[in-house]
Amino acid sequence: MCPLIPGSPQGGTDLEKHRDLLMVENERLRQEMRRCEAELQELQELQAKPATPCPGCEHSQESAQLRNRLSQLQLEVAENKGMLSELNLEVQQKTDRLAEVELRLKDCLAEKAQEEERLSRRLRDSHETIASLRAQSPPVKYIIKTVEVESSKTKQALSECQARNQHLQEQVAMQRQVLKEMEQQLQSSHQLTAQLRAQIAMYESELERAHGQMLEEMQSLEEDKNRAIEEAFARAQVEMKAVHENLAGVRTNLLTLQPALRTLTNDYNGLKRQVRGFPLLLQEALRSVKAEIGQAIEEVNSSNQELLRKYRRELQLRKKCHNELVRLKGNIRVIARVRPVTKEDGEGPEATNAVTFDSDDDSIIHLLHKGKPVSFELDKVFSPQASQQDVFQEVQALITSCIDGFNVCIFAYGQTGAGKTYTMEGTPENPGINQRALQLLFSEVQEKASDWEYTITVSAAEIYNEALRDLLGKEPQEKLEIRLCPDGSGQLYVPGLTEFQVRSVDDINKVFEFGHTNRTTEFTNLNEHSSRSHALLIVTVRGVDGSTGLRTTGKLNLVDLAGSERVGKSGAEGNRLREAQHINKSLSALGDVIAALRSRQGHVPFRNSKLTYLLQDSLSGDSKTLMVVQVSPVEKNTSETLYSLKFAERVRSVELGPGSRRAELGSWSSQEHLEWEPACQTPQPTARAHSAPSSGTSSRPGSIRRKLQPSGKSRPVPV
């Protein structure tokens, strides 16, 4: 018997078992599917929730990745679901076909059973007939035949049945084959289901992992949130506590203030009562305060007066000390400067050096004149190696004294070509005393700017053939006059002399350039002309002390004198003779003035030349004079050098101010500069000679243009 024949308990069980198993499996898969769907739904809901704002949280990125992964998984699950439903459909179809086949098989089997039943019944009947026939005699033979006939029929029927049975068995085998195929199909779908299940398991584990991560993340976020809440809570508690404490403090303060407030209220009421009488009290208090202030002002005034008095005394003392110092040093200082030998000196014996110095004493100069050594002692001697700065160093103390209100004269004296202009003006690359002096004045004035206000003005003039010209004026050829002030003060002034205020080195350069241009356009041979004229740079420094109102005026005269060389009587005529006469006259006058000052004569002949007349307030009194005697070192100039040095030594021994150095005085002749004419000593009104006002700056000269004080004592005195 076939084990799979339907109806047989064995075969029916196997097929049904398979089908039942498949259906159970199917059901289980459906349930899993539903569960997965439910989870998915959950996840989707979670995903759909607005992302918890967690800026900067590292989990948000991870969460986004997980969400992406989840959506991928969802897609895959959807695909699998599709596949599963297809498989389900297929299984359903196969189950239907199987049920059909089973039904047909059942029908066939029932038919077969019926046929067998009928055949066996006929067989039994036939057996019974045969047996009954055998029991009968001859007729039995016949009967046997009949039976045989009948038996062959039966046999035929049997064979037919057997053939049918065979056919049925074939059909069953065929059905079994179909069943086998179906079993195989079932097996393969089983495998597919197993694979799908494995995939689903994998997805599930992934889902579980993602879910776990999400949960962890949510947990950590939750923890963070809780922590933050706890911290905030703790802080709030602390703050609350502080606020409570403050409140308690304020309460206690309030409690303590209440009595104070009561007292204040009482006081206020008391004051209110008092205020009614306040105007009277106020008047009283005002009166007394006014009196006190008045007294204080008086005291301050008197102490101010005292201070002012002391300050003035101090200034006087300073002036005295300065005068004393000047007296001790001598207020006429003479230095010599020897220029280097230049190409212009030529070559040969005439150009040999005739000047030597004392290595131990820088005030000694030796000159070899016509084979005879002659030595001179001056205040200082500069050798050819001395720089412009070295020379300036020597004169800068004089220059700064201008700021204190002293008048200063610096002369460059010497024969033409000895270096006067080089020392005074210098070159653009290496400026001389003029520019350095102004620079120094600027910086000194700046240092004092906190207390004093200074103005520095500059005039430039030239004296040629006894005519005074303004080098900064619009008409330099115009001759200027030195006049007495019409106000009867006895002061001098030069009407029309231009005065420029200078504030910087640039200004100075412009002024110098302007003066130079004026001179150049005026004279075709400037070199020759300048050696025969005196060039004056007059710097006036006016100061006002902001706190005391004290005023000072100091004047610095920088003079590049005309060449001191003597012109032989016979060698000159016409213009040259006139020039020489004028130069001699003015240089002699300078000598005369110095001689008169030295010998303290009642009359000092300032008016004998324009030069001395113009410079009279800078030559007299406690003014200071520095003469730079320029020396040519070469043999051919020794006569002039000797002459210059003699002149210098004599000038040096003269004093301008009180006290004297008479012991040092050498012989002096006002004629020494004159070859042809004696210095005319015009009698001067005595009032102008020594009319020193004892005090009051109002009478001080303001500028050489406005007023030139004739007095011998022209230092400013505090107001």
Is 416 annotated for ligand binding?
A: yes
Q: What angle, rounded to 10 degrees, do the helices at 433-447 and 505-522 form? A: 150
Pairing label, strands 408-413, 624-631: parallel
CA distance 339 to 34: 123
Q: Which of 598, 568, 579 shows the shortest CA–CA distance to 670?
A: 598
Q: Does 415 bind Mg ion (CB under 5 A)?
A: no
Contacts of 214 (CB under 8 A, 6+ apart): 46, 63, 66
Is 405 annotated for ligand binding?
A: no
What letter represents residue 357's amino acid? F
Q: What DSSP assignment string belongs to 434-486? A: HHHHHHHHHHHHHHTTTTEEEEEEEEEEEEETTEEEETTSS-TTSEE--EE-T
Closer residue to ligand ADP in complex, CB, 381/679: 381
Is 417 annotated for ligand binding?
A: yes
Q: Name the one range near ligand ADP by CB under 6 A: 77-85, 233-241, 339-347, 689-697.
A: 339-347
* Helix (H) or strand (E) run with residue 627 in it: strand 624-631
Residues 363-402, mask of contacts with Mg ion (x by CB under 5 A): ----------------------------------------
Q: Does 551 bind ligand ADP (CB under 6 A)?
A: no
CA distance 608 to 684: 10
CA distance 603 to 619: 14
Q: CB nearest ligand ADP: which residue?
A: 419
CB of 420 to Mg ion, least distance (A): 5
Is 420 annotated for ligand binding?
A: yes
Q: Does 342 bind ligand ADP (CB under 6 A)?
A: yes
Pairing label, strands 452-464, 534-545: antiparallel
Closer residue to ligand ADP in complex, CB, 179/460: 460
Site for ligand ADP in 606-645 (CB under 6 A): 630
392 binds, among Mg ion, ligand ADP, none (CB under 5 to 8 A by kind): none
Q: Does 340 bind ligand ADP (CB under 6 A)?
A: yes
Is 193 annotated for ligand binding?
A: no
Q: Does 495 bind ligand ADP (CB under 6 A)?
A: no
3-state SS, residue 554: strand
* Helix (H) or strand (E) run with residue 288 in it: helix 278-329
Q: Does 63 bind ligand ADP (CB under 6 A)?
A: no
Residues 297-336, mask of contacts with ligand ADP (x by CB under 6 A): ----------------------------------------
Closer residue to ligand ADP in complex, CB, 553/632: 632
Using CB under 6 A, count the residues that bind ligand ADP: 13
Closer residue to ligand ADP in complex, CB, 52/353: 353
Q: Contact with ligand ADP (CB under 6 A): which of 11, 405, 417, 701?
A: 417
CA 79 to chain CA mean position, Å: 70
C-alpha angle 39/45/46, rounded to 5°?
Answer: 90
Q: Does 421 bind Mg ion (CB under 5 A)?
A: yes
Q: Contact with ligand ADP (CB under 6 A): which of 193, 459, 491, 531?
A: 531
Q: What DSSP assignment string belongs to 148-196? A: HHHHHHHHHHHHHHHHHHHHHHHHHHHHHHHHHHHHHHHHHHHHHHHHH
* 53 burial level (CB within 10 Å; 0-12, 13-18, 19+): exposed
Q: Does 716 bind ligand ADP (CB under 6 A)?
A: no
CA distance 422 to 420: 5
Closer residue to ligand ADP in complex, CB, 391/445: 391
Q: Does 376 bind ligand ADP (CB under 6 A)?
A: no
- 426: which strand partners? 431
CB of 580 to ligand ADP, least distance (A): 15
CB of 361 to ligand ADP, least distance (A): 21
Q: Which residues bind ligand ADP (CB under 6 A)?
A: 339-340, 342, 414, 416-422, 531, 630
Residues within the annotated binding site for ATP? 414-421
Q: Which residues are annotated as a binding site?
A: 414-421
- Give the binding site for Mg ion (CB under 5 A): 420-421
